[in-house]
Each structure stands twice: as C-alpha cells, then as structure tokens.
Amino acid sequence: MIKTWFVTGTDTNVGKTIVSVLLLKKATIIGFNTAGYKPVSSGCIKTIYGLRNHDALLLKKHSVIKFKYKEINPYSFYGNIPPNFFYCKKNNITFKNLSDKLHNIQKKANWIIIEGIGGWDTPIFNTNTLSNWIKEEKIPVILVISIKLGCINHAILTVKSIIASGLKLTGWFANCMNYEQYLLNYIYTIKQYIKSPFLGIIPYIQDINNICTNNINIILPE
C-alpha cells in the first residue's frame, strides 16, 4: 500500500521542511521506501545545474528512493515570492504535470511526503492554490504550527479551511521556532480546537542540514 501525505503550514517559514525531513527519516528507519516531493518552490538559488531549492534538496537527501532533482521539484522559481507573481511565460504549472510527477514517484516509493509552499492557500498560478491540487488528488494533510504569538488564530483558520475542503487532517505538529515560555499553554489551547491527533513537538533546531532524530519523539501519521 502506498502512503502519501501533504505537509502544509499556518504560514511560510513555520517548519514544514523540518517536519517533512523528520517524518522521512523515521519512516526510513521503520523500513519504508521513502521519497519527498516538493512540487513548487520559490526562493531558489542559481547553480551550474539550474535553479535549486534548499528545502527540495533536503527532501532528496533524506529519501530512500533517489530521483533526479526535476522529478521531485518540477517547478522552481528564483524570486522569494509567490509563484503566481511570475507571468505565464515563466510559470507553466499545470495540475496534470503535478499529478504526473507524483504518480511517477508512487511507482517507486511507498511512503511519500509532499511539502507545500507557503501556507495552505498560497497561490501558485492565476488564482489556483496548491491546496486545490491536493483536493483533486484527495491527499490527507499534516499541519505544522509555529508556536508564537498569533498562532492560535492562524491554526484555527487553517484547520477550518482544510476541513471545509473535504480532506482529512491526519494530525498536527507544534514547531518551536525559538524559546517560547508559554509553549505548553499554546499547545493545550490549540488541542481544544483541533480534534485531529497531535503528532509531536519539534524542538528548536539550529542546523536543519544535520537533523538528528534521537531526542525528538514524533508519531508517524496513520
């Protein structure tokens, strides 16, 4: 059975990549043939091989099944802005291409993490969001919440939108971007509003390139 999840966040820079990498690493330890998929990325750097996205490279690094870069990140943009800001000549994203790439990954891997871009409803072309494609594919969602002032409101609004889309919210993570003295208070409050499983607390990680799972207790989604 092939398992596929979509990792989204309450905003941009909330820890989607950290959570995605930790999930891939834990699933790999259990014995799954894992693969990460970053359909759309921005803020890429120019290399001799073309545009490369740091998050996509981390997903590639921590996947068991090794795909070519363009297979796991088919759409990459240089500017650190929403992809829909680019005009049609540069932005040729289609849901069909996103699905074709995913189905190719599913032929070789049996445990797949799709990492979103920005928050749940970040537009990728015209008025289409990546979440619209996730709805078409009917992929269950994992939510990453950055614990900070304002996160409760962001979490509630995002969960309402996910549930309204008809998709299953498989679970959520609390990510500690820095020291937050009210961490447990935030988590307790959010639990009152989110009935989906709480999958774990991600401690503050200084170096994302060398993530160690030894002292991080997380639950794999079901």
**Confidence (pLDDT) at 91:** 67
- Residue 51: count other Cβ atoms within 10 Å of its Cβ: 18
Q: For residues 147 and 102, is the Cβ–Cβ distance under 8 A?
A: no
- Residue 58 has phi, psi (to 5 degrees) of -65, -40
Per the structure, the count of domains in the chain is 1
Look at the alpha carbons of 195, 196, 197, 199 in this order and tell me if their dihedral is positive or negative: negative
**Which tokens belong to 131?**
């979440």
Model-level pTM?
0.94
**Confidence (pLDDT) at 79:** 78
**Which tokens belong to 124?**
């990728």
219 belongs to a structural domain: no
The domain of 117 spans: 3-210
66 belongs to a structural domain: yes
Whether the predicted pLDDT of 87 surpasses 60: no
Distance CA 71, CA 106 (A): 12
220 belongs to a structural domain: no
Say which residue the tokens 């447990």 belong to. Answer: 184
221 belongs to a structural domain: no
**Which tokens belong to 78?**
């240089």
**Which tokens belong to 57?**
């490279």
Tell me the mean pLDDT in the region 32-52: 94
Using pLDDT thresholds of 50, 70 and 90, give the confidence band for residue 212. Answer: low
Active site residue 96: no
Q: Is 31 left (phi over 0), alpha (psi -120 to 50) or beta?
A: left
Mean pLDDT value across the chain: 92
Any idea what the CATH number is for the domain that residue 199 is in? 3.40.50.300
198 belongs to a structural domain: yes
C-alpha 185: how far from chain center: 25
Closest CA to 41 of 117, 113, 114, 98: 117
Residue 150 burial (C-beta neighbours within 10 Å; 0-12, 13-18, 19+): exposed
Residue of 3, 25, 26, 38 marked catalytic: 38
215 belongs to a structural domain: no
192 belongs to a structural domain: yes
222 belongs to a structural domain: no
